[in-house]
Amino acid sequence: MQEFDRALTGLSYEDKKEILGDYEEHFRFGLAAGKTEEEICEALGQPKAIAKAYRAETLVARAKSDKSVGNIVRALIAVVSLGFFNLVFVSGIFFGLVGTLIGFWGAGIGITFGGLAVLIVSLIGPALLIADMPAAAMAGMGFLGAGLCALGILWGIGCFYISKWFYKLIVKYLQFNIKIIKGYRV
Amino acid sequence: MNIQFKKGVLELCVLALLLGRDFYGYELVHQISENIDIAEGTIYPLLRRLTQEGYFTTYLQESAEGPPRKYYKLTSKGREYAGSLKNEWIRFVGGVSRILEGEKSGE
């Protein structure tokens, strides 16, 4: 019974009281007819399944009562105007931000590989005789390469977090859209 | 048997029983589960919905032994609905059995 009570969450207090009352009555009559509580429970079936049936009935009833023309028109207007707003404003901002992000990623990758190239040249350049420079300059170049490389990687990590945040923002925005549309229906 | 199938038929069974006389919940559930293998708990949600849709009214009646019983009674709307559903079912079952028999003789 407790499990059933818990499974019924989402229904109003009055509904719950009435529903539980029906089952209490059922148990009383069942016990009076000489059945054990286990037998009655087994015949009734899963508490969760029964609670689901109640919720489904409630939702169907609600959907039926909300099928007025006004509601449908309002929902339609919400969908159309949201669509327009999304197309004109949000898509512009969206593509702008996506472009910026792609630019950031490109910059990160460029800096990383540039740094890597400088580092490699400074390490193997003298051996291959493609860079003839004093040792101190070579060392300086090596540090510069390593530094650039590290900066690029850090930049990339930053990009990763910004992208993640951007993704979350989009999901939130889409959820917000759905809420608006649904809000007119319920 | 298929659960959706049973659920549809259940509504008809409840209405048909109530066409005969008023029943209280436990009695109604008992009558149905005697004949059809179904989880008894699923009948109460149905009773509740049909009550909310105005097909039944309920009233409490004291009984000589035990607690008061919650009886279900068809409204005039419910009576009409039960009658039409019953006729529809009879026509439907007639059609299905004709098809099943035709299938048999066709083999």
Instruction: Clarify whether residues A89 and A171 are in a common domain.
Output: yes
The answer to whether domain B3-106 has CATH 1.10.3720.10 is no
Judgement on whether residues A99 and A162 belong to the same structural domain of the protein: yes
Do A100 and A134 have their domain in common? Answer: yes
d(CA B17, CA B32): 9
Same domain, yes or no: A177 and A147: yes
Closest by CA to B58, choosing from B43, B68, B73, B69, is B73
Asked if A26 and B44 count as a contact pair (C-beta separation under 8 A), the reply is yes
Q: Per residue of chain A (186 residues), give pLDDT as tens.
A: 777 777 777 677 777 888 888 888 888 888 888 888 888 888 888 887 788 777 777 666 665 555 555 665 666 676 777 777 777 778 888 888 889 999 999 998 998 888 888 888 877 776 666 656 677 777 788 888 888 888 888 999 999 999 889 888 888 887 777 777 666 544
Give the structural domain span for A45.
2-65
How far apart CA B107 and CA B96 sit, in angstroms, is 17
Mutation pick from B33, B38, B44, B71 vs chain A, by most beta carbons of A within 10 Å, is B44
Interface contact flag, A26 B66, Cβ < 8 Å = no
Same structural domain for residues A58 and A74? no
Q: Which of A25, A40, A62 to mutate to test the interface with B (most CBs of B within 10 A)?
A: A25
Of A29, A43, A53, the CB nearest to B45: A53
Q: Where a domain ends, among A65, A98, A115?
A: A65
Q: Which residue has the tokens 């005697």?
A: B34
> Which chain B residues contact residue A50 at CB under 8 A?
39, 41-42, 44-45
Q: Judge whether A60 is closer than 8 Å to chain B, CB to CB.
A: yes
CA-based nearest distance B48→chain A, Å: 8
- Please identify, among A31, A49, A65, the residue that sits at the C-terminal boundary of a domain: A65
Q: What is the pLDDT of residues B35-44, one digit of tens each?
A: 888 888 888 8
Mark whether A43 and A84 lie in a shared domain.
Answer: no
CB contact under 8 A, A22 and B70: yes
Interface size A-B, in CB pairs within 8 Å, comes to 63
Closest by Cα among A74, A96, A94 to A85: A94
Taking 70 as the threshold, does the pLDDT of residue B106 lie above it? no
From A43, A65, A87, the end of a domain falls on A65
Question: CB-based contact (8 Å) between A31 and chain B?
Answer: no
Neighbours of B41 (CB within 10 A): 24
More confident call, A141 vs B27: B27
Q: Check residues B24 and B104 and name the one with the higher pLDDT.
A: B24
State residue B15's pLDDT score: 92
Residue A22 to residue B41, Cβ atoms within 8 A:
no
Answer whether B39 sits within 8 Å of A28, measured CB to CB: no
ipTM of this complex: 0.75
Place of tokens 């199938």: B5
The verdict on a CB contact (< 8 Å) between A18 and B41 is no
Instruction: Give me the number of domains chain A comprises.
Output: 2
Q: How far from B35 is each of A87, B13, B31, B38, CA to CA, in Å?
A: 59, 10, 7, 9
The pLDDT value given to residue A186:
41
Distance from CA of B101 to the nearest CA of A (A): 35
pLDDT recorded at residue A74: 64
Q: Do B39 and A30 touch (CB under 8 A)?
A: no
Every domain of chain B and the residues it spans: 3-106
* Integer Cα distance of A63 and A77 in angstroms: 19
The rounded distance, in Å, linking the Cα atoms of B41 and A3 is: 14
- Do A61 and A100 reside in the same domain of the chain? no
The CA distance from B53 to the nearest CA of chain A, in Å, is 8
Determine the Cα–Cα distance for residues A52 and A81; give it in Å rounded to an integer.
35
β-partners of residue A108 are: none
Same-domain check for residues A86 and A124 = yes
At A117 the pLDDT is: 86
